[in-house]
Structure 1
Amino acid sequence: MGRPVPSPTLQMVASALAFSAMGVCVKQVGGRIPTAEVVLARALVSVVLSWWLLRRAGIDPWGQRRGLLLWRGSIGTVALACVYAALATLPLASATVLQYLYPTFTALLAWLVLGERIGGRVVVAMVLGWAGVLLVAQPAQLFSGGTPLAPLPVLVAVAGALTTAIAYVSVRSLGRSEHPLVIVFYFPLVAVPLSLPFVLLDPVVPTPTELLWLLGVGLFTQLGQVSLTRGLTALPAARATALSYVQVVFAGVWGWLLFQERIETATIGGAALVLLATLISLSSRRSDPEGAADR
């Protein structure tokens, strides 16, 4: 008898834990190692693992719609750089909350690009999502108390959510003709040559400890994506996203334990609004087993 397969719920929680650990690794090196170098390290680990999985499954790695695959890899690389830059500069919980704007952006882009129906729910979700962003960011012009976040990192985090949504829409289109492993493979395949010139312009030799953290970025990301894919194939999108939102809790705990980050009341309120926006935007959509976020 084979080993028992973990339940989809446990898969989603494991995915959230792995992605939160990835955030810890990014934050550990983010003060000294440039973002492009972190992206390159993650891509190198992922391209090796993805190639091995493709060869093991006997799947042609090059796909059919190569132009769109290259585009998905390119926009995914931009999203990854934004996410990593936000994780390095913002509190872990706040950066994670802002990243979870991507389902709302995806619903809007799917309407604009793919012609998928959009209704009043998505509009309500967008309003709630942006209200959540304001609570998390606490701009000085609107809030007299609390600790406002620096505007530029917040914009970078929102840009990461937007570009993640663009990558999602590309994945939805590619899913009609490409194997999921091929789509995953093209992401690091494109990220390596895109990030390498930036690394060469500003190279920083990592210490042995930093090398371990960089390896952790790639390994935890791969573990998170595997668990996420397995969970999403067996759960409705709304429930799966609600479960994956436990990543915000994990991020808050890691930030408090390792980086002495306070969890602001406004961050909790903003997280609740973004989660509600996410559930509303997904409530009328089918499960999409191949829509894994770029991390």
Structure 2
Amino acid sequence: MSIKEKEILGFQSLIASALAFSLMTVCVKKLEGRIPVAELIFIRSAISLLITRFLMKQLKVNPWGTNKKLLLIRGVMGTGALFCIFKALMLLPLSTATVIQYSYPTFTAISAKLFLGEKIRKRILVAIMMGWVGITLVVHPLRGESIGGGQNLFAIGIALMGAVLTALAYVSVRKLSKKEHPLVIVHYFPLVSAPICLPFLFSEGVIPLGMEWLWLLGIGLFTQLGQVWITKGLSLLPAAQASSINYTQVIFATIWGMLFFSEFLNIYVVTGAICVFGATLISLSARPDLELVIK
């Protein structure tokens, strides 16, 4: 496969992943916070585990991998990120929680530089900065929410922590994807998260009712699809470039917020969305053989 073909496939995989994850956030918001975060993650993990093990059996993939230590670390980081993301989605509007979560490309670029030695190309740096501008505009400030309240400050902190843990998880995936099968990497996520959530399930779990079962199924299915596609994308593109492409989830979240949760569009959201889309285009055009790099 040529470099250009890898870039196109990586871009397509990451856009598909962003769409899947955005639909997962809709399912979480639809539950309106009645079901505890740990229970959501446990159910999501159970669904993911069943699907992944079935696929690995069909493809005859060894489920345990080789770098078990890093696979476990990736699982812990991903689980922590999910706890933060789901909690933030319960406390904040969909678009607000998403745009704060999508401060993670900056943390990804820095982490990839520190832990993987990946160089940050100038065009990627511009894409990240443009994405931050878009996030700031969409928030403006927090879409009319009062940021002075203790609950909002707590929610902002939770969302930012989710962004940091997401970045560390993505860097782990980037490292693992050089030798591990994508399904093995996806497999370790629920393998770690399910045991972590189990004690919380016994102490605070509730029985889902009616349509809640559908939203729970959606969380599991869309997260599984998102994990597979993002793992594929991260195996084909550098971490900083891949994460800046994922800014497109902000656009999806804005659309779903309008359609499903009456989060109205305004000039700040439109301008921010344009910045995010521009960041994606710049990132896609950042060819390794053409770009100067920042040492």
Interval of TM-score (by shorter of Structure 1 and Structure 2): 0.7 to 0.9
Superposed CA deviations along residues 224-272 of structure 1, whole A, max 9, x for unmatched, are: 3445556777889899777754433332232222222223433444444
Normalised to the residue count of structure 2, the TM-score between the two structures is: 0.78
Q: Match for residue 186 of structure 1?
A: 188
Q: Match for residue 62 of structure 2?
A: 60
CA gap 1:282/1:75 in 2 versus in 1, 3 angstroms: farther
CA gap 1:195/1:202 in 2 versus in 1, 3 angstroms: same
Normalised to the residue count of structure 1, the TM-score between the two structures is: 0.78
**Number of equivalenced pairs:** 276
Kindly report which structure 2 residues correspond to 1:147-158, keeping only aligned pairs within 5 A, or say none.
Answer: 147-148=145-146, 150-158=152-160
Which deviates more from structure 2 when the two are superposed, residues 265-274 or residues 88-97?
265-274
In 2: Cα distance, 1:121 partner to 1:249 partner: 21
CA gap 1:113/1:240 in 2 versus in 1, 3 angstroms: closer
Q: 2:100 aligns with which of 84, 98, 101?
A: 98
Superposed CA deviations along residues 8-53 of structure 1, whole A, max 9, x for unmatched, are: 5776655444322211111111421111111111111001101111
SS at match of 1:61: coil
SS at match of 1:78: helix
Q: Match for residue 88 of structure 1?
A: 90
SS at match of 2:100: helix
Q: Match for residue 292 of structure 1?
A: none
CA gap 1:283/1:111 in 2 versus in 1, 3 angstroms: farther
SS at match of 1:59: coil
Q: Match for residue 195 of structure 1?
A: 197
Q: Which amino acid aligns with 1:213?
A: W
Q: Which amino acid aligns with 1:190?
A: V
Query: In the TM superposition, what is the alpha-carbon distance from 1:201 to its structure 2 partner?
Result: 2.4
CA gap 1:285/1:106 in 2 versus in 1, 3 angstroms: farther
> Identity of counterpart residues, as a percentage?
51
Q: 1:213 aligns with which of 204, 212, 215?
A: 215
Query: In the TM superposition, what is the alpha-carbon distance from 1:202 to its structure 2 partner?
Result: 1.4
Query: In the TM superposition, what is the alpha-carbon distance from 1:180 to its structure 2 partner?
Result: 1.3
Match status 1:111 vs 2:150: no
Q: Which amino acid aligns with 1:21?
A: L
In 2: Cα distance, 1:25 partner to 1:256 partner: 15
Q: Judge conservation of contact 1:121–1:281 (CA < 8 Å) in 2.
A: yes
In 2: Cα distance, 1:155 partner to 1:217 partner: 23
Which deviates more from structure 2 when the two are superposed, residues 231-240 or residues 196-205?
231-240
CA gap 1:134/1:15 in 2 versus in 1, 3 angstroms: closer
In 2: Cα distance, 1:147 partner to 1:128 partner: 23
Q: Match for residue 22 of structure 1?
A: 24
Q: Judge conservation of contact 2:97–2:159 (CA < 8 Å) in 1.
A: yes
Which deviates more from structure 2 when the two are superposed, residues 84-93 or residues 104-113?
84-93
SS at match of 2:31: helix
Query: In the TM superposition, what is the alpha-carbon distance from 1:218 to its structure 2 partner?
Result: 0.5
Match status 1:49 vs 2:51: yes
In 2: Cα distance, 1:158 partner to 1:210 partner: 27
Query: In the TM superposition, what is the alpha-carbon distance from 1:69 to its structure 2 partner?
Result: 0.7
Q: Match for residue 252 of structure 1?
A: 254
Query: In the TM superposition, what is the alpha-carbon distance from 1:59 to its structure 2 partner?
Result: 1.1
Superposed CA deviations along residues 145-178 of structure 1, whole A, max 9, x for unmatched, are: 9444533222222221211110011112212321
Query: In the TM superposition, what is the alpha-carbon distance from 1:186 to its structure 2 partner?
Result: 0.2
Q: Match for residue 159 of structure 1?
A: 161
Query: In the TM superposition, what is the alpha-carbon distance from 1:219 to its structure 2 partner?
Result: 1.1
Q: Judge conservation of contact 1:133–1:270 (CA < 8 Å) in 2.
A: yes
* TM-align CA RMSD: 3.4
> Unaligned regions of 5+ residues in structure 1, if any?
1-6, 287-295
Match status 1:168 vs 2:170: yes
SS at match of 1:208: coil
